[in-house]
Amino acid sequence: MSAALLALALAAPPDALLTTAERTDFARTGRYDEAVRLCRALAKAHPASARCLEFGRTPEGRPLVALVASAEGRLTPERSRGRPVVLLQGGIHAGEMDGKDAGLVALRELLDRGRKGPLARAVAILVPVLNADGHERFGPNQRPNQAGPEETGWRTTAQNLNLNRDYTKAEAPETRAVLRLLGEWDPVVYADLHVTDGTVIRHDLALLVEPVLEGPEPLRAEARRLQAALLEKLAGHRPLGFYPDFVAPGDPSSGFAAAVAPPRFATGYWAARNRIGLLLEAHSWKDYRTRVEAAGDLVRALLELAAAEGERWLAAAREADAAGARLAGRDVALAFKAGPRQELAEVLGHAWRREPSPIAGRPVTVYERAAPETWRIPFFPEVEPSLTVKAPRAGYLVPAAHAAWVAEKLRIHGIAFREVGEARGREVLAFRVAEAKIAAAPFEGRQRVEAWGEWRPERRDWPRGSLFVPVAQPRSRLVLHLLEPRGPDSLLSWGFFNAHLERKEHVEEYVLEPYARMLLAEEPGLGAEFRRRLADPAFAADAEARLEFFARRHPSWDERMGLYPVYRLEEPPELERGKVPQPTRSGASTTP
């Protein structure tokens, strides 16, 4: 055997550390127990530089595992402080398995390199599969817009939840488990590894980093530098720097648009917590080997950059935390839309045409896969706010009736709050819902709400045990996303307060009729107002609306109807005597 072949043989991993993808020439991917076994085997093979930890359990009882890798042996959250931590996540959608196989292969190689590689200056954490239950709903052709592997898992969990819509509402056990993991390790970069579809293009991958288009400086500047560096390092894969989803679904002529990920998504969520979120979308029509290699190259490039530039990322994250604590009273954008400016983008695609479809009853796109073509199509590179709010000068007050479950949400997000004592007639800003549109069909298990209204001064009481959530804290942007009622990822928008939009007490018609006649006789101004309303044909024809006009003036009318049970405070409440805020492991503060 030649010296070169001997070196290659010595460098080859033992069979026990190979993935099913490698064993089958990337025709197949392994089952979930393989990911757990390889996590433990790699930790056993490198006891000084790797650790396999269990960070949660799925609803069906499967362990959620993460492989921690550091050539310096920084294998606990405490020992990782001061080093850039990069958390790599695969399988949040368990039909998209590239991140699992790419991550296991790349970390195996980097562990073998030891102090000669980026793990000498950076800590890597790999969650090979977050959606473990969905992974084991295993079968062929479950990703019909994807070229391999032969069998995959399912997109959603055993509870039929899409985990990459769950970050703010945090309902799935898997989401809560990974949020605890994030809180404990505080990675400066959280990379979510996906496979995209929807278009037929020749690029291997798309790469998006947050916060790039909006967010605090200098973290935003570092995110832009990181995206540019990764696009350069991965140039051989012809990466795109935007999500390849057409402005008009299915129509290439409509072009592409930049976007800001809302915090229901992993990358948008981590940016709202003043860290860098990274989304990899390998392109589904590339063969599985190509996609895994592209994802593996991304992992290696990201960790190399973390080793070289991670200290600067950490400094930018600290500055973003400090800026978050100064957000009180300032304007904050909570939602965005594409800006009007457009330019031409060159995209490597295929010849296509739009033709009528007797199946869909509308035009559809037909691609000619044998005819490569460079598209020159519109690209909208900018965004502008579609919803901006002014942060309260002090914070938010959550009355005691909702304190227990809201406190659980705040803790899992690492948001500081404290318990306060009873108050009477306190001046607050209250939001009353003037109009609400409740979705007819559920989305991710919840009836979502669009609410319109405005904050107005009122005097309200609250009992002991209510919660004060200050804006002056590092995660203030996330506070606003959760508690501003019109925010698209607020607890109100996710339907957690729908009971407060329901009318619970009614006045029988035979009681209301004479009461209305009495009011009209006693209050001439009311009669004039009623006649003005009758000039509206829709109101005049709606018996229930006419009756409600008077029901709202009856003493039995619920004054809390439509009152959002979270108040804005311009001055902080007094801390209840004897209650001293205590820090939690995730950095939030509560009272004992």
Q: Which residues, 6+ apart, have CB-to-CB distance to 201 below 8 Å?
A: 244, 283, 285, 347, 348, 349, 350
Query: What pLDDT, on a 0 to 100 scale, did the predictor assign at position 398?
Result: 98
CA–CA dist 134, 152 (Å, integer): 9
* Stretch among 3-7, 211-215, 371-375, 389-393 having the lowest mean pLDDT: 3-7
- C-alpha span between 358 and 373 (Å, rounded): 27
User: Burial of 188 by CB count in 10 Å (0-12 exposed, 13-18 middle, 19+ buried)?
Assistant: buried
Average pLDDT over every residue of 283-294: 97
Helix (H) or strand (E) holding 497: none
Q: Residue written as tokens 């209510």?
A: 466
pLDDT of 520 higher than 70: yes
Cα distance between residue 473 and residue 395, in whole Å: 10
* Average pLDDT, rounded, for the chain: 94
Q: Which residue has the tokens 């001293």?
A: 580
Asked if residues 415 and 475 have their Cβ atoms less than 8 Å apart, the reply is yes
Is residue 558 over pLDDT 70? Answer: yes
Backbone angles phi, psi at 504, to 5 degrees: -110, -20
- The whole-number average pLDDT for the span 317-322 is 98
Structure tokens at 5: 């072949």
User: In the prediction, which pLDDT does 581 show?
Assistant: 45
Listed in sequence order, the residues at least 6 apart from 378 whose beta carbon sits closer than 8 Å to its beta carbon are: 247, 254, 255, 256, 342, 343, 344, 345
Average pLDDT over residues 4-29: 78
Separation in Å, CA 389 to CA 69, 320, 580: 41, 19, 31
pLDDT of residue 570: 96
Sign of the CA dihedral with 238 first, then 242, 246, and 252 last? negative
**Across 444-467, average pLDDT:** 97
Please spell the DSSP secondary structure of 101-114, one letter per residue. Answer: HHHHHHHHHHHHHG
Concatenating the DSSP letter of every residue in 143-168 gives STTS---SEE--SS-TT---GGG-TT
> Which of 43-57, 272-286, 444-458, 504-518 has the weakest average pLDDT?
504-518
Listing DSSP states for 316-359 in one string gives HHHHHHHHHTT-TTSEEEEEEEE-S--EEEEEEEEEEEEEE-TT
pLDDT at 7: 43
Which residue, among 460, 424, 467, 425, has the nearest Cα to 572 in the 3D structure?
467
pLDDT-derived band at 14 (thresholds 50, 70, 90) equals confident
Q: CA-to-CA distance for 1 and 523, rounded, in angstroms? A: 106
Structure tokens at 13: 């991993």
Would you state the pLDDT for residue 198?
A: 74
pLDDT at 575: 59
pLDDT at 11: 58
pLDDT given for residue 268 in this prediction:
98
Q: Which pLDDT tens digit goes with each residue over 150-166? A: 999 999 999 999 999 99
